Amino acid sequence: MRSQAALPRFGSLLCLLFLPSVLSSSSRRQWILQRIPVVLPQQTEAGPTPHFVNEARLDVASPCDPECHKKAPRPSYWDLRSFLAYETLHSNGQLTETAVGIYGYSPYASTSPAHSSGSSVKAKGSHVRRKRQIFGHDGRFSIAGQNFLLKYPFSVAVKLSTGCSGTLVGERHVLTAAHCVHDGKNYVKGAQRLRVGFLKSKQRDTQDPSVYLPSNFTNHIEGGAAQYSPPVNDKMKFQWIRAKRTHVPKGWIKGNANEIGMDYDYALLELKKPHKRRHMKLGVSPPAQRLPGRRVHFSGFDNDRPGQLVYRFCQAGEETSDLLYQHCDAQPGASGSGVYARMWDGRRRRWERKVIGVFSGHQWVEKKGTSQEFNVAVRITPLKYAQICYWIKGNFVDCREG
C-alpha cells in the first residue's frame, strides 16, 4: 500500500480530475474543429525484404533542440509528399511502399490555429532539467484494480511485444511510436510477429479499505462506490493479439532517426481481429496555451514498474509545429503512449478526450558541452491526422474534420 504521505498527492489528482465538472461554460476550453486536408495513397509497390536485425530502442537521441527545430526551413509540398509516403509491413514479412498525394493544403499558407500560436513561447517556469527521466519528485500513478484498469480512459493503453506502449484509436488499430518497430534503417526484431497486449485481471481484485474514490473517478466509470486498490505485482496478465499490418511514414525512415525523423516518430498497427474495447478518438494537436492548464496526460507500461499501468500528467512546455516538449515523468517502456487532452466538445455537449500526440520518449541534446534533457511527444498535425485517419477508416471522406 502507498504510504500515508502519498495520500495528499492522490487527493490532488482527484481535484484535477473533477475540476472540469465545476467550471462554468464560459471558462471551458473547447475542441475547435477544422477542415482537414486529404492525404491519399496513389501508388503501391513491393519493397525490399526487411532484415529484423536490431532490438527496438526504447529511447531516441537527437542533436537538434527546440530552437534548432524552430529554425528549420518549412518543408515544401514535395518534401511533405516524401515524408508522408509510407511503408506497410505485413504479417507474412512482405513490405510495400506507398506514394501519396496531398490535396487541400498549402505549406506556404499561414500556419493553422491548431499548431501555431505559442510555438515559440516557453511555458511559465519551464527550464531544462538534467540527468533524469524522473524530474524531481516522481509524479506517476500506478493504476490498479479492474474498476479502473478495465475502464476508459485507462483501458485504451496497450503494451507492444517489442517493449513499448500504444493506444487504441480504432476498433482494431493501435497508435504507437515508429521507433518501437523501426530503427530508422530497418524493422526491429519482433516486428514481423508483433503482438499487442491488453492488460486484464488474473484474479479477483482485493480492495484496500483505507482509500475510497467516487464512482466517477475517471469521469466515465458508472455504478456504485469504487475503491482505490494499490498495485500488486504478479496480479495482472496480458491477453495478446497479433498485428496484421504496420504502417510507418517515410519521414521517419528518411530521417534515419535524426531531427526530421523525430517529427514523424509514429506508426499505426492494424490488429488481426477487433479488440472489443472502447478506443480514444484522434484530435489535431492544439497549441499548448489552449490546453486546460497547459496539461497533457498519458498512460503506459514503464519498465521500472513491470506488470503495472502507469498514468501521469504534466504541463506542456516548449513546442514546435511537430513536437511538444514536456517533463512528464516517464521511463523506457512508456514510449509510444498516446498523449491526450480533455476538453469540451461543443457539438456533442460533453467532455471528450482525444489523442493529440505520441510520446516519443526521453531525448537529450549536447549543446555547448552541456547535456540538455527533454521528454518529447510528436504532435498530430492536420496532415498527420489525415494520414492516420485514412489508415484507420480506409477513406478520406470520414477524415475531413479533426
- Are the C-beta atoms of residues 317 and 327 closer than 8 Å to each other? yes
Does 372 fall in a domain? yes
Total tally of structural domains belonging to the chain: 1
Start-end of H helices in 108-192: 146-149
Q: Is residue 222 part of a domain?
A: no
Answer yes or no: are the C-beta atoms of 159 and 166 closer than 8 Å.
yes
Amino acid at 114: A
Q: Phi, psi at residue 66, to the nearest 5°? A: -55, -40
Task: Confirm whether 70 is domain-assigned.
Answer: yes
CATH number of the domain residue 75 falls in: 2.40.10.10
**According to the model, what pLDDT value does residue 259 have?**
53
CB 277 within 8 A of CB 155: yes
Inside any domain, residue 32: no
Q: Which domain holds residue 146?
A: 38-105+138-202+234-393
Whether residue 210 lies inside any domain: the answer is: no
Residue 228's pLDDT is what? 37
The verdict on residue 311 lying in a domain is yes
What cell numbers appear for 301 in the block?
A: 507500461
| pLDDT per residue as tens digits for the range 218-251 | 443 323 333 334 444 445 688 999 999 999 999 9
Is 63 inside any structural domain?
A: yes
> Residues 169, 355: contact at Cβ < 8 Å?
yes
For residues 287 and 319, is the Cβ–Cβ distance under 8 A?
Answer: yes
Query: How big is the chain, counted in residues?
Result: 402
pLDDT of the residue at 24 = 39
**Which residue ranges of the chain lie beneath pLDDT 70?**
1-27, 59, 61-63, 107-139, 146, 201-236, 255-261, 364-369
Residue 227 covered by a domain: no
Measured between alpha carbons, how far is 356 from 362 in angstroms, rounded to an integer? 18
